[in-house]
Structure 1
């Protein structure tokens, strides 16, 4: 097994262990990790808070245990419907509100489970130090967000802030005290009551979000002041400085009004096909390279030890439906077979005079694989190629037709079609 395969296998084992604990603690049987994100069935769950996303490359196993503990507490100690109703709409306020709710449920970790409390503390410290050492606290907005996270968690949980950065927070803590001091006291006092806690959390989120926007506009200078009125860069400037996962987790781009879409009754419509081109993929690669790639792919698939015959059976069972495929004669029950009535005269004791309809599973369908072939998929190309090749082989054995299609743009950022749209 290669080193990369060992790392993937290790990450899978961590995901399985963490998911097992979250299922056991929350009592929800259909929870699992996919792509390092917790899913309920096929539905991905929200990101909740930035410190709940450790990296397999840089974080230790205790961080993943702390993440599992935090997710389990969030699912069991937070009313999702109530949280949805109380959550602010503004993106930065929403990010802060989510983080404060996570601090609340973590503060409710049972005292009878000291290991859970240690794991939660360890994970928060690891995230805090990673945030600090990445240089994000060198900016006014980053330092403000970091200080709010440290102060609020310390107040809600009754634990100290991270010792390594404690001195750095003093000035920001002093400036925040008169602004959010009353709401901070309410966080600790109302942490067992989600609705009452949310009142104080919303107040803090609103105040801090306004400070973050003001700090962002001051730093961005004349360029942002000259921007168009609907420019959202000042709103999302803080989040843009942070890790990409946090952008996806806590911000939502406002969708503009589309007269074209509304005119079509909200139905999907292709904007233009003027620049569409279709090519057979094999015609775009030299034959020698195709042979080399085919051999490499075959070796890697063989090394995985996948039981394609078993996969084919499962696909056949999933995709096939019973259809009439003729008759089985010489049966002792069923419909009378007129062709065998003469046997009744010749042999009165003959009972096999019937026939039954034969039903066989038939997969009357086509499975299509549509693959993003843009540059952003380069890192995943080999894994996707292996997956699709195995599936195509299994479908062929199952008697199911399949096709493999790819798509990409001819130029960066949408090319000529996007220019026409603009």
Structure 2
């Protein structure tokens, strides 16, 4: 980042801090310093990733919203009226956020514009592959759209209207006749929150879940028949547990959630003395302890690409890929040749001459014969910068990659594989998706188990090995065509895919390890997000990437197709045209091989 950019972002940071102090009437708010030691800290939007107008709008809106929360939202009143049902808590948090943001909009037109611009932009960025039933849309997402439409007068587009339509009748039955009361009590937080809490808990969509929970508790009590003392101690434990859940369940990320306490997960005080591989292994065993739950893994699969389809179909798909290659081969091959020349140049042997020890330099012997007083000359081979290297390409195989993006990804993987192989660089090509839409067997199993609350990841993973690191390109070339297989691309759960790629890389003996992720945005699995918090998958991805970048020697770089992925990865490039993918992949690899040490 240039000094000019750094200065501009620092000025923006200071401007936002000043704005927050003025709006919130709290002049004691301080920026969190580099050591995170500020006692009265404010966590700003990630201004380091401010790369577009969209990011700028989001930064201003989030700063305004945080200030309004400090000004208009009393935490004691918020917690006093918090519903018991975990799903209700998430909707309750959204309702409270809309309340204090609406008050801010009435106070200053500039705030109203910032917030409305951000919500409109959020609506326009929504992507859904299938919309047929309620299960296709998380209830929290639908409720936010309902609140924006009815309380914030945001105009929905066709997709967001369709998403809301699946749930709108349920919301209207409980809320529509009370909308005027709620609007008239925006300034009375207690009246507004207590009313909303009751309305949410009385909703039919949550009644079944509450009844099932009560029934389960009664059954447990009947079976165990605990003593009164035990019941009292259990009640105390439940109170403590409920207090913890209250904090965790809030959808509004401002409620005391710290995303990055990863250092605490390394439980050994001697971990600094351990090798990075030992640390990684420990983290994997504990599944990184990142508040990330998986309901079941018994339906997941890791499959070799050749087992996805028969040989005849694989040949046909490879021919389709070869036809697509014709249009790109000249451009990408030139770039690949450039990378090849660079890598081979690094592998050339080089010698240091005129040394006092080493191997005898026979080219200097004639001068000894001519003049015996000349000293013997020795030579030694130089240490090469080029290290034994492996590159893993991890390719998003989600439905939104369908068409041109996945074709270009397959083409570039094919050409890079051949190029790097010629330079003695090992290449592994992996893909990640799910076996089914809507959760598959995992969700069916969850339904049979009476739908436990917040089950965690709720779909069947499919991780695909297109080419192993030790497999020659010729043996695996048909597999790369299988990325074009109809019906293969479904959902994307990025955090677990990266963990899988990491576990494969750490077993390798190569000295230098590079992970290149090709994706088109945020992780999405509707089945999982419909029964967990809206940022459940995204938080896991952020923490997984941060751990690799900070705690391992593996170099990670990401290419976002049509979407900025710099909020997840420190080293990230966004491309708007998939035709740029080959150029970007090769130039990024080229710059990595130019650098002598890991870049963050």
TM > 0.5: no
Higher relative contact order, structure no. (Cα contacts within 8 Å, ≥ 6 residues apart): 2
TM-score normalised to the size of structure 2? 0.34
Larger C-alpha radius of gyration, 1 or 2?
Answer: 1
TM-score normalised to the size of structure 1? 0.45
